Structure 1
């Protein structure tokens, strides 16, 4: 733990919110205040806490994590997140995104294919899992954070040190979740493929029949599998993507509600406002003011 405190020395001096690191798909986050549970998007990657505490709720499960803990997320999910933070003990952390290809490459190098064969291919795993860093993971993370604190080091060493952190995760408690993600087929792979389609076409109307064909399933089997993995129906999941995209537009671009609604695919602004308030607990107008 004493060695891990060095990690905070390399955490950037930043305001509350998020800040991109000098490496693709990696960012820091910080919060000084308590925040009650709110809808939160977790993307594919490792969400690592350096200080403070968070409680994540997905389906009927709640996961508390604090310094030395991290969450492995194998796909983009919509969860509830409660933040426990203060000026004396702020939440500080780093998100390290990864691709399926990065995990597959490590699995091949580590010769873990044989272990994958022991898994029940029909079992539907949770897409997320909590874990705690061991000493080796902590050492790797400290080196990674130190590297990111220098832009030139990040350019030269960043990818290699990120790979080392992912290697540590593959040696950790959530190794099975990451290994299942590396499969060429299976529930996580199938649903990730559909989520990619929804993410790229969120402002378009969706056809569930076509989504089912994408993963070679009947409509009923696809519908059931999608809900089992994500806890949402495809339509509900798409709605959450749209609402989160609209929220981002309102906050970062100062977009008017009707502009954001039309941009993300809503045909009715009044319907958008109702669903926005129901999901986030605040109207688009009130969010803009805040």
Structure 2
């Protein structure tokens, strides 16, 4: 994607890290050095890497996304990710949020209800996966980036161009993931409902039986479906969400570890410390020292 990478390099205020664009729902990211495998959380969206590449690890299995494909995420997914970039060829890309109302409008307008129903009868799709980047998607992304160089064009043209990117994704190989997100019923939808509950109420005492009851499923069927979509058991997923939220509190609000642990639902500070180090590779004290040195 030479044109796309050139456009990203020359965007206003483009710098290392994650940056908001002029258009709500679109963010840019850049890295001038490799980043070792570390936990991340992606919300529903489309991730386009224009230069460099990333390797994600879900359920112990790697998947790569780079300039020849794009990544579709249909539910909030914690996974581990390794970034490959360098000063000579930095990682460059953008992330486009998926708006559910717009997704449903496009599915209806494109007459994809039959395909959506057929997908519902097949195996549950994973909540995240790469799709081949074709010429139409490449062109749509490039035109979106051109509009995002100007605050006025971003405001007036950006929403329509975001819609076109989603339209192109519905014609790609990860379309079943988007169909599953759009369905109001069915097993995938029930798992998606529980994921929203866990995202909003992660600090509460949640268990498999209670969550299964919320979506009128047996505990065993719910556990099986949850793992098919996320590659995690419900409690492993919840733990990763809690630890990620706790780290955000410690990083962004300089909150002490024991307070962050309590805020996200941990009753035992020692258990929190053990699990944080296992997940992020750093103890709370090591994480705090790194923040102070930064």
DSSP 3-state at the match of 1:275: helix
Q: Given the superposition, is the C-alpha separation of residues 176 and 228 from structure 1 closer, same or farther in structure 2, using an over 3 Å criterion? A: closer
Q: Given the superposition, is the C-alpha separation of residues 2 and 205 from structure 1 closer, same or farther in structure 2, using an over 3 Å criterion? A: closer
Distance in 1 (alpha carbons) for counterparts of 2:59 and 2:11: 32
CA contact (8 A) 1:6 1:142 kept: no
Aligned counterpart, 1:184 = 184
CA contact (8 A) 1:29 1:92 kept: yes
Q: Which 10-residue stretch deviates more, 147-156 or 256-265?
A: 147-156
Distance in 2 (alpha carbons) for counterparts of 1:10 and 1:101: 32
Q: Given the superposition, is the C-alpha separation of residues 152 and 67 from structure 1 closer, same or farther in structure 2, using an over 3 Å criterion? A: same
Distance in 2 (alpha carbons) for counterparts of 1:117 and 1:4: 35
Q: Which 10-residue stretch deviates more, 129-138 or 241-250?
A: 129-138
DSSP 3-state at the match of 2:139: helix
> Under a length normalisation based on structure 1, what TM-score does the superposition of the two structures give?
0.93
Alignment of 1:102-141 (within 5 A): 102-119=102-119, 121=121, 123-141=123-141
Distance in 2 (alpha carbons) for counterparts of 1:110 and 1:6: 32
Alignment of 1:133-212 (within 5 A): 133-212=133-212
Aligned counterpart, 2:57 = 57
In the TM superposition, what is the alpha-carbon distance from 1:126 to its structure 2 partner? 1.5
Aligned counterpart, 1:101 = 101
CA contact (8 A) 1:121 1:186 kept: no
Distance in 2 (alpha carbons) for counterparts of 1:227 and 1:72: 18
In the TM superposition, what is the alpha-carbon distance from 1:247 to its structure 2 partner? 1.0
Unaligned runs of 5+ in 1: none
1:185-217 CA-to-partner distances (Å, cap 9, x unmatched) read 223211111010011111111143331122211
In the TM superposition, what is the alpha-carbon distance from 1:75 to its structure 2 partner? 0.8
> Under a length normalisation based on structure 2, what TM-score does the superposition of the two structures give?
0.92
DSSP 3-state at the match of 1:118: helix
1:66-119 CA-to-partner distances (Å, cap 9, x unmatched) read 224211111111211111111011111111111333211110011111222333
1:45-81 CA-to-partner distances (Å, cap 9, x unmatched) read 1111011111111124321122242111111112111
Q: Given the superposition, is the C-alpha separation of residues 121 and 100 from structure 1 closer, same or farther in structure 2, using an over 3 Å criterion? A: farther
CA contact (8 A) 2:207 2:235 kept: no
Aligned length: 290
Q: Given the superposition, is the C-alpha separation of residues 156 and 227 from structure 1 closer, same or farther in structure 2, using an over 3 Å criterion? A: same
CA contact (8 A) 2:42 2:78 kept: yes
DSSP 3-state at the match of 2:121: coil
Aligned counterpart, 2:88 = 88
CA contact (8 A) 1:7 1:141 kept: no
Distance in 2 (alpha carbons) for counterparts of 1:129 and 1:231: 12
Unaligned runs of 5+ in 2: none
DSSP 3-state at the match of 1:119: helix
Distance in 2 (alpha carbons) for counterparts of 1:76 and 1:137: 23
Q: Which 10-residue stretch deviates more, 159-168 or 169-178?
A: 169-178
